[in-house]
Amino acid sequence: MRKEDVSVRVREYDKEKDREEVEEMERQCELGLQGKPSLDTDLMGDPICRIRHSPSYVMLVAEYGEDKGIVGVIRGCIKTVTRGKEPIGSFPIYAKVAYILGLRVLPTHRRKGIATKLVEKLEEWCKEEGAEYAYMATDCTNEASINLFTLKCAYVKFRTPTILVQPVHAHYKPIGPGITIIRLAPHLAESIYRRVFTNSEFFPKDIDVIISNKLNLGTFMALPKRVLHKWDPKSGHLPPCFAILSVWNSKEVFKLQVKGVSVLNYALCVGSRMLDAWMPWLRIPSIPDVFRPFGVYSLYGLHMEGGKGASRLMKSLCAFAHNMASDDLGCGALVAEVGRMDPVREAVPHWRRFSWAEDLWCMKKLSTTDYEDEKSGVPDWITSRPSSPVIFFDPRDF
């Protein structure tokens, strides 16, 4: 049995006492490799702001030594989500899951077991809150994080969704001819989402709360103009061909900044932006000013139906979201996370160099009994195959 390090104390974050120290600690943490381009994250407002939109959340800090200085931090939130549909039937199966994020330990205090202790303490809180599973997400190349969770904390590699990133250019993107885009009322958006994501994984039970959140900029549907006049939303039927997505204003929660690029790359990026601003009719694929703090819009709830024409609708819908972001000073990119085999993946415009082909999700079962699963005939989520290639991305988790 591993002997507990009594010099490490983990406790809940105190906003009044810890805010400045946590902010300074996170600034000191290495978020990239020395001498290579890195992406720094700057949370807006209180450090707990990134999770406070979730139904249940906590932030823990680790103190070390006699001076009890804060050397580590971790965040966690709990929600109820779908894990697919019932083996027989069309109703979704719900599970209470915890999402672990924001694990940071000062470079000077790593390899002392602090990260492991933070994860263990957070898991204790998750169990007390009734969470059945816990999961985390990391870049598939982040070996340190993967080893911590899989080798020391008994997590298993679970899903590998794709993160698609589209820079916001200085020029507007055109909407396809014959296509109209409408804004859906919250109650209609909720109704559609609950229908089309029934068989998916990680669809939140409180989708109505997300849609009505002040950070949600709206849910939009793209339709062929010939279909618009024939579709009656009150009928309860979906149009034969459509695309839908929602836009979340993540720039009000955190800012990003690219550091460590070469002078040549910096000049190329600035030059492309200036040329695009001077001659927008050329539609140059310019790069926004990512060398100063910038925000992003998160696209979620992406879904399309109607065959080949639906792909064109989704592209126009993404162009519409891009133009929204272009009007918002300081918004530098659109980000969408989708399942690796989700059909919308090929329809979402993105720059491959800025995107992640695989964003590794690792999961662990927290409940100690399989009785309920055996009773219902539902296999354990971690070992079962997904019932759908669709993974719903919760914008609160980004």
Domain chopping of the chain, boundaries: 8-161+359-367, 165-354
pLDDT, residue 1, reads 42
> Which phi and psi (to 5°) does residue 16 adopt?
-70, -35
pLDDT, residue 36, reads 45
> Which phi and psi (to 5°) does residue 322 adopt?
-60, -45
Query: How many Å apart are CA 149 and CA 352, to the nearest integer?
Result: 28
Residue 392's identity, in one-letter code, is F
Burial (CB count within 10 angstroms: exposed 0-12, middle 13-18, buried 19+), residue 349: middle
Query: How many Å apart are CA 208 and CA 278, to the nearest integer?
Result: 42
The 10 Å Cβ neighbour count of residue 279 is: 12
CATH fold match for the domains 8-161+359-367 and 165-354: yes
Q: What is the pLDDT of residues 159-177, one digit of tens each?
A: 999 999 999 998 899 999 9
pLDDT, residue 5, reads 56
Task: Sort strands 8-12 and 38-43 into parallel, antiparallel or unpaired.
Answer: unpaired
Q: What would the two tokens of residue 337 be?
A: 């996370």
pTM: 0.89
Class of domain 165-354: alpha beta
Closest CA to 240 of 187, 297, 307: 307
For residues 53 and 396, is the Cβ–Cβ distance under 8 A? yes
Residue carrying the six token digits 């068989």: 199
The CATH code belonging to domain 8-161+359-367 is 3.40.630.30
Closest CA to 13 of 26, 2, 22: 22
Task: Sort strands 201-204 and 69-85 into parallel, antiparallel or unpaired.
Answer: antiparallel
Q: Which residues of the chain have pLDDT under 50?
A: 1-2, 31-37, 371
pLDDT, residue 35, reads 42
Residue 178's identity, in one-letter code, is G
pLDDT, residue 184, reads 96
Q: What would the two tokens of residue 167 be?
A: 């820079």
Q: What is the pLDDT of residues 26-48, one digit of tens each?
A: 888 754 434 444 556 666 667 88
pLDDT, residue 379, reads 75
